[in-house]
């Protein structure tokens, strides 16, 4: 009976049936992008996310304006590398934040 058990186990490994294959199939195929490009205001509940920000002040301002913010002022990089400032959105003044991933948070 031992040789039969060994053959059965070998068959499971070769066909990919077993606990390892189930784990591998549950892993995401593509990791999320480092920079969010498909929406303006973040859907990330953790945003703004602290981290090394590579946006220049001009790029940060352009991104905010591209997503409907106007009259962006007082834009400064804080101690968590998050661009923060004030702007107008839909006729109302708001505080804005832009993190290294490109997430925009308006309050």
Asked whether residue 28 is domain-assigned, the answer is: no
The token pair that represents 17 in the structure block: 């049936």
**Structural domain that includes position 52:** 33-106
What percent of the chain has pLDDT above 90? Answer: 49
DSSP character at residue 3:
H
pLDDT digits (tens, 9 = 90+) for 38-60: 445 556 777 788 888 889 999 99
Strands (E), the chain: 70-77, 83-89, 92-98, 104-106
Any idea which of 40-44, 63-67, 79-83, 93-97 has the lowest mean pLDDT?
40-44
pLDDT digits (tens, 9 = 90+) for 90-101: 999 999 999 999
Asked whether residue 56 is domain-assigned, the answer is: yes
Asked whether residue 45 is domain-assigned, the answer is: yes
Asked whether residue 40 is domain-assigned, the answer is: yes
Q: What total number of domains does the chain contain?
A: 1
Phi/psi class of residue 106: alpha, beta or left (left: φ > 0; alpha: ψ in -120 to 50)? beta
Asked whether residue 24 is domain-assigned, the answer is: no
pLDDT the model gives residue 107: 87
Residue with the two structure tokens 């590579």: 54
What is the mean predicted confidence (pLDDT) over 2-20? 53
Asked whether residue 102 is domain-assigned, the answer is: yes
CA angle 85, 90, 95 (to 5 degrees): 20
Taking the CA atoms of 58, 75, 56 and 98 in sequence, report the sign of the dihedral they define.
Answer: negative
Asked whether residue 19 is domain-assigned, the answer is: no
């Amino acid at each position: 009976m031992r040789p039969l058990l060994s053959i059965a186990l070998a068959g499971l490994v070769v066909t990919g049936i077993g606990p390892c294959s189930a784990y591998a199939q549950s892993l995401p195929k593509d990791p999320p992008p480092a920079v969010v490009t498909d929406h303006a205001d973040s859907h990330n509940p953790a945003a703004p996310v602290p981290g090394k920000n590579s946006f220049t002040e001009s790029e940060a301002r352009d991104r905010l304006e591209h997503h409907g913010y106007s009259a962006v002022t007082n834009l400064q990089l804080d101690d968590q590398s998050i661009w923060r400032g004030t702007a107008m959105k839909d006729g109302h003044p708001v505080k804005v934040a832009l993190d290294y991933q490109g997430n925009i948070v308006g309050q």
